[in-house]
Structure 1
Amino acid sequence: MFEVKLPPEVRLVEGSCQKSQQLSADGLHIRVRLKVGQCSEAQGSAIQHLRAQRSYCILCQSCGDMLLKDRVFRRVLPLPNGNWNTLIDDWCCHPDPFANKKLHPKQEDCLVGDTYFLLTRDSSCEEKLTNGVEAFDLNASSNVHSRKQALGHRNVVCCKNCCAVLGEAVTTEVLKFYITEVIVRQSEDGENTMPQNRQQFLERALVSRLVDLSSAQSIFRFSIQTPDGRAVIMLWLLNMDTLIASFSEKAISSDILISASDRHPNKHQSCQAVGAIKVLYLPCTRGQQDEAVDAWEKDISVHPLILPRSTCEEVLQLLSSSTKTLPSSLCSMKNYQVAYLRR
């Protein structure tokens, strides 16, 4: 017998459990009514909580090594995000004075973007960080198929301990760190901890930013892109009030749900239901769904989210893994694939 434990603020309405007859081809489907009380606010992303005049430590997510210690920012300022320049051109009657200029932080500043933050180097950077060069295809972000590959190069910043790419060297004095590659926490939270599970960390970091942006700016469609502007995933946030509970495939496929080593053989197989977001997504693979992808790329209401190239591929794997766990009747909606990401 399987048992799903609901969060404290969610209760099952008595007598509402009914078997669905319409979707019996790929397993048992049950419809229930839930009563939801006052929900606790979901924890926001790390960069949303950055504040001036507080001390922060920045750690490598891959190995847990301390990169920057006790950094205090005099100012923490948001950067213009999304298609800001395009909106300026459409709505303003005068040219954008910042069109060809980049905003860089001054000493003791922290500038916060959607998926990254900018800060200046200090003495600890030489001890903990190393520079590298990453090549990319200049034609990758264009719809034009070219036989000749034109390569560009980007200066990246890596962890000296494990060589993981953490961000970019914008200038000789300014660094860009991606929120999916580093852990930001207040200095008083204690010493280094063991590295977090990569998949769980990435899932929570991505979900936090999607929820932040949709709540603050009513943005629901996103284009997950590499730093050179190549779209990898088109993602549509459908809702943020989903509960999911999953059992291991081994437990479901086995007739014996409790192992011989279990001290309580009569105990039910149970799991805790957790909050999740439901998304539709399209992988931007050449030759597949080209019309839909082109339409999204031309729509200025679609919000770009820039992530390292390898992280974009990790996000796609994360979404695909979620889709594979769903029954066949629920894993797609029209031309889009369905996925659930835990909050």
Structure 2
Amino acid sequence: MDKNIYKTVILEIRPRLQSVNVVINLISPIEVSKISLNEDNFQIIVDEHVHTVCCKNLKIVVNSLSSLIVTQTYISFRFATVNSSDDWGSFKTEVLRTVGSNVHTNLENIFLNVSMEYVIQCKNCSHNLSENVKFERILPLPSENSDSSDWFCHSHGSSNVAVLNPKESDVFYGSCYCHLSKQLVHNVLETEKLVVCKRCLSWLGLLKNSETFKFWFNTVAFKDETMVHSTSPLSDTLIALREILNSILFNTAKIVLCCQSGKKQNDYILLWILEKQLNVQLGVKDYKVAKVLFKYENNKNETVKKWMEDSNVVSVDISKPMTVEILKHLYKFNKIFPQEFSESNNFFISYLMMYEHEK
């Protein structure tokens, strides 16, 4: 297809349904004479001009065009495909796959080592937040959504609630964050629960309790003799989301991403996962994505309260940089849709490139 007549071409491919939904976002209005399907492409005929869109790795049923809509801003339609029985089975048999078994997480690839000496730094200004420290214990934390009273085989205290407070020589870590002893950390300012860098005032983390700081690997860095270790806010967010979805049996889910970004400021991103693994073709590239509805709220309004009170909704704390980067990511892929396809029920539609190595 001639690139000067469209902004984006989106193919949502659903092999199990043997169906492909096509949405073409037009640059300007055109008079479409005909849509023609071929085995490996489709053609848009405008007057006497033929614009061809290749559909790689698809075998199209040529007489299956349906749900055709042509407007001044977009074209949408659906067609059927024929799957290879080797890949997906047939209507009589189905090939089953283990989903997500080869997904690596930060819990499996923690960069800290008990034999190494580190200095903790502010990632933004590289100001030292600790003296040299050699950690004696580097231990993974249970999921944030688990009950802390289940972390131990017996009660630790009269309240029957177990609390994990690291010592100065400990670091306890999750998929994208860590817990550190307050006694270890210097050159920070505490304002209520917020912790910021004393030099540049960058957001670093939260006061977990009276003895423990919670920092994210994308807000602080761990410097050893040879290099500085830190992570990407967007990658950390996608890893955290992927871990949640890998633990859920269903194809859909509701997740609230929470961030206390200021003394009286809380940010919430409501994510409604419509399809946790969807094959899409954007232009000539193939991706595996999660299709989502999302909404950003900067206060705990009735919608946020309703979501957070729902026992089926997963709530996750993220850092301020993670909030900024995941919103950029969501709005970026929302813009590829025509206006008519970009919103639903006061939520925005988008893709999460959760299975790509995007930064």
TM above 0.5, yes or no, is: yes
Deviation at 1:209, TM superposition (A): 0.6
Distance, in Å, in 2 between the alignment partners of 1:32 and 1:63 is: 54
Cα offset, 1:340, TM superposition:
0.9
**What is the CA–CA distance in structure 2 between the aligned matches of 1:300 and 1:165, rounded to whole Å?**
30
Shift of 1:331: 1.6
Could you tell me how far apart the structure 2 residues matched to 1:274 and 1:64 are? 36
CA, structure 1 residues 112+287, in 2 after alignment: closer, same or farther (shift >3 Å)? closer
Aligned-partner SS, 1:12: coil
Alpha-carbon distance between aligned partners in 1 of 2:342 and 2:202, rounded to the nearest angstrom: 33
Equivalent of 1:24 in 54, 59, 70 = 70
| Aligned equivalent of 2:219 | 181
Corresponding position of 1:211: 242
CA deviations on 1:106-137 (whole Å, 9 max, x unpaired) are 344332346521123687x55xxx31244xxx
Residue type of the partner of 2:286? Answer: A
* Per-residue deviation, 1:304: 1.5
Say if 2:145 is the partner of 1:82: yes
Q: Which has the larger radius of gyration?
A: 2
Q: CA deviation at 1:210?
A: 0.7
Q: Distance in 1 between matches of 2:337 and 2:323?
A: 22
Could you tell me whether the CA contact under 8 Å between 2:122 and 2:197 is conserved in 1?
Answer: no
Conserved? CA contact 1:323–1:339, under 8 Å: yes
Q: State how far apart, in whole Å, the 1-side matches of 2:276 and 2:115 are.
A: 31
Query: 2 CA distance for matches of 1:226 and 1:98?
Result: 28
* Number of residue pairs the alignment of both structures matches: 278
> 1:104, 1:53 → 2: CA distance?
18
Q: Which residue of 2 aligns with 1:222?
A: 255
1:278 pairs with one of 286, 291, 294:
291
2:202 maps to which of 164, 170, 176: 164
Name the CA distance, whole Å, in 2 between partners of 1:229 and 1:103: 27
2:259, 2:341 → 1: CA distance?
29
2:137 and 2:256 map into 1 onto residues whose CA distance is 33
1:225-267, CA deviations, whole angstroms, 9 ceiling, x for partnerless residues? 22489462221223332345556xxxxxxxxxxxxxxxxxxxx
- 1:234 maps to 270
> Which residue does 1:132 correspond to in 2?
189
Contact 2:257 2:318 in 1 (8 A): yes
- The verdict on how the C-alpha distance between 1:287 and 1:115 changes in structure 2, with shifts beyond 3 A counting, is closer
Moved more, 276-285 or 13-22: 13-22
Distance in 1 (CA, whole Å) between partners of 2:66 and 2:129 is: 53
* Residue ranges of structure 1 left out of the alignment (5+ in a row): 89-93, 135-152, 248-270
* 1:274–1:155 distance in 2 versus 1, CA, 3 Å: same
| Counterpart residue number, 1:297 | 308
Between structures 1 and 2, the one with greater strand share: 2
Cα distance per residue 1:152-182 (max 9 Å; x no partner): x23414285x553222355686432124434
Determine if contact 2:219/2:321 at 8 Å carries over to the other structure: no
Shift of 1:53: 4.7
1:172-229 C-alpha deviation (Å, 9 max, x unpaired): 86432124434679x79x6359x98xxxx33322111111122135583211222489
> Which residue in the other structure is 1:256 paired with?
none
Same amino acid, percent of matched pairs: 17
**Which residue of structure 1 aligns with residue 20 of structure 2?**
none
The two structures have a TM-score, normalised by structure 2, of 0.57
RMSD: 4.8
Indicate the residue corresponding to 2:193 in structure 1: 154
How many angstroms apart in 1 are the aligned matches of 2:217 and 2:348? Answer: 26
Q: Say whether the 8 Å CA contact 1:83–1:303 is kept in structure 2.
A: no
Higher helix share: 1
The yes-or-no answer on 1:49 pairing with 2:109 is: yes
Change in Cα spacing, 1:209 to 1:54, as seen in structure 2 (3 Å) is: farther
Contact 1:52 1:73 in 2 (8 A): no
From 33, 53, 58, the counterpart of 1:13: 58
Q: Distance in 2 between matches of 1:43 and 1:20?
A: 37
Farther-moved stretch of structure 1 (332-341 vs 208-217): 332-341
SS at match of 2:74: coil
Counterpart Cα distance in 2 of 1:325 and 1:303:
28
CA contact (8 A) 1:203 1:341 kept: no
